[in-house]
Homo-oligomer: A and B are copies of this chain.
Amino acid sequence: MPSPKKPSKPTASLTTLRERLGELDDLTQAASLAGWDEQTYMPPGGAAGRGEVLATLGRLAHARLTDPGLATLLDGLQQTPDLQETDARIVAAVDRDADRARRVPDRLVGDIARHTAAAQVAWHEARAADDFGPFQAALAHHVELRQELAGCFPEAAHPYDALLHAFEPDLTTERVQTVFAQLRDGLVPLIQEIAARPAPPTLPGPFPVDRQRDLALEIARAQGFEDEHWRLDLAVHPFAQSLGLADIRVTARYDERTLTGLFAVMHEVGHGLYERQTDPALARTTVGTGVSLGIHESQSRLWENLVGRSEAFWTHWHPRLLEAFGARALGGDDLPAFLRAINTVRPSPIRVEADEATYSLHVILRFELEVALMEGTLAVADLPAAWNAKTKELLGLDVASDKVGVLQDIHWAYGELGYFPTYAIGNIVAAQLWTVIRRELPTLDEDLARGDTTALREWLREHVHRHGRLFTPSELLMNITGSELDAQPFLDQLRAKYGALYGLG
């Protein structure tokens, strides 16, 4: 970790770099606001104009990042011998971004953007028909375009690496394959053991939406949501968006039949805290944000699952829940029964409905198919059959139709191959961090049982959040845990938790 030193002498080059990065960061923030607004308050008629605005902001940001003047500036700074460590890391991170942006020709960026619009239409058509057919050609062209993109990075060991690196800058396909094999070998038997036990009763409900909203805000505040710097709004698909580190926006959706919305808010606040607790010195450098989607997802999953589904957390919050909804809606006032209900494990064919344990199998399924598509060992025409076979193999389930199978996620309509792995990486990293946290914060359970998250939040600030993108994801993980990406802690924690809840051997 960078030790506190005197700041660099503000050389003219550094000042110029900061100005350029400030402008780039401002353009990104303007686009982030436009994206947030699009999903929260924009009237539907504004969509076409909003698309133009986002395209222009993206084009201007891209032009700044690929500007030869920036490259010259970065080269010069990299050869400056006495650059302060933080500055050197900023220069290195921006240099990686710029290199990646320059390597992909504008023509290909444009082709991808145009095809993405067309492919979404095809995906929606296929969904409506519950038939992969209308989407097949569009996805095949997406795969071709991604293969062309991979060709821009000929030094990569695997063509999938180039896709992965858009989200996980220093992870290789080979490493993900190794870790996901470990994960799969641990998860499949665990889930089979659990499935042999009777499922706990579900919570009867109902949970009136306005009370869920009030409670979600109370819990969010307990996590660290400050009214001065945060917003909580409604959106069809919950998400978190930072507009710089002083303006954090999370969104939620509530359904009176379940408490899913509460867990989604804990999840999004976890994302938000990562952005909010970045070192303010990194503001307007483009480096003051989460380092990768996997590390980001580790923060959301940590709060949603490791805190939010724990006995310690609900020791404090369960009485408040009873007060809000009554014992009848909660199936009684028994905390252990409530904990079993919110930790039910049951395979489902739908990823977004999956529980903490089965979720990663959905990711492994998609990752393996994506890799095969990129390698050319799987034809797009054969994808539905491959999907169904893998669902049987990993989850033991038959797929009723394409709509609840290969067409269930919109990601591929956007051409976003390489994205899915980050969800499971989030689970894995959260567990690796949790092992260290439990060691370093021995009174964590007592804190949570009192409703106090301060020590946990400060630990995350110190070890993860404040660094922004100064370290690569692997460096960050190694610095904190002394290990590279490793699924064992996640598997151990799941077995310990579900072993107790389900009385496994």
Q: Within A24-58, which residues are at the interface with B (CB < 8 Å)?
A: 26-27, 29-31, 33-34, 37, 41-46, 48-50, 52-53, 55-57
Q: Indicate whether A231 reaches chain B with its CB closer than 8 angstroms.
A: yes
Copies of this chain, whole number? 2
Q: Within A364-385, which residues are at the interface with B (CB < 8 Å)?
A: none
Q: Indicate whether A60 reaches chain B with its CB closer than 8 angstroms.
A: yes
Q: Indicate whether A227 reaches chain B with its CB closer than 8 angstroms.
A: yes
Stretch at the interface among A114-122, A242-250, A293-301, A462-470: A242-250
Query: CA of A228 to CA of B44 in the docked complex: distance in angstroms?
Result: 6
Across the interface, do A52 and B22 meet the contact criterion of CB distance under 8 Å?
A: yes
Across the interface, do B29 and A246 meet the contact criterion of CB distance under 8 Å?
A: no
Known: A27-B56, A60-B60. A229 touches B33 (CB 8 A): no
Q: Indicate whether A230 reaches chain B with its CB closer than 8 angstroms.
A: yes
Chain A: interface secondary structure? Answer: helix
Query: CA of A26 to CA of B50 in the docked complex: distance in angstroms?
Result: 9
Across the interface, do B26 and A231 meet the contact criterion of CB distance under 8 Å?
A: no
Interface residues on A, range: 35 or more
Q: Per a CB cutoff under 8 Å, which of B23, B37, B45, B243 touches A46?
A: B243
> Which residue of B has the minimal Cβ distance to A46?
B247
Across the interface, do A29 and B41 meet the contact criterion of CB distance under 8 Å?
A: no
Query: CA of A246 to CA of B53 in the docked complex: distance in angstroms?
Result: 13
Q: Indicate whether A283 reaches chain B with its CB closer than 8 angstroms.
A: yes
**With a CB–CB cut-off of 8 A, which chain B residues contact A22?**
52, 56
**With a CB–CB cut-off of 8 A, which chain B residues contact A27?**
56
Q: Indicate whether A362 reaches chain B with its CB closer than 8 angstroms.
A: no
Q: Indicate whether A213 reaches chain B with its CB closer than 8 angstroms.
A: no
Across the interface, do B53 and A29 meet the contact criterion of CB distance under 8 Å?
A: yes
> CB-defined interface of A213-249 with B at 8 Å, one 1/0 digit per residue?
0000000000000111111010000000001101110
**With a CB–CB cut-off of 8 A, which chain B residues contact A30?**
30-31, 33-34, 53, 56-57
> Which residue of B has the minimal Cβ distance to A284?
B52
Query: CA of A392 to CA of B136 in the docked complex: distance in angstroms?
Result: 79
> Which residue of B has the minimal Cβ distance to A245?
B49
Across the interface, do B52 and A247 meet the contact criterion of CB distance under 8 Å?
A: no
> Which residue of B has the minimal Cβ distance to A36?
B37
Query: CA of A317 to CA of B60 in the docked complex: distance in angstroms?
Result: 50
Query: CA of A31 to CA of B26 in the docked complex: distance in angstroms?
Result: 11
**With a CB–CB cut-off of 8 A, which chain B residues contact A49?**
29, 243-244, 246-247, 283-284
List 5 A-B residue pairs with CB atoms under 8 Å apart, sorted by A's residue number.
A27-B56, A43-B229, A45-B229, A45-B247, A50-B243
Q: In the complex, given contacts A30-B34, A41-B41, what are 17 additional A-B residue pairs having Cβ atoms less than 8 angstroms apart?
A: A22-B56, A26-B52, A29-B49, A30-B33, A30-B57, A41-B231, A43-B230, A43-B247, A45-B228, A45-B246, A45-B247, A46-B247, A48-B246, A49-B243, A49-B244, A49-B247, A52-B284
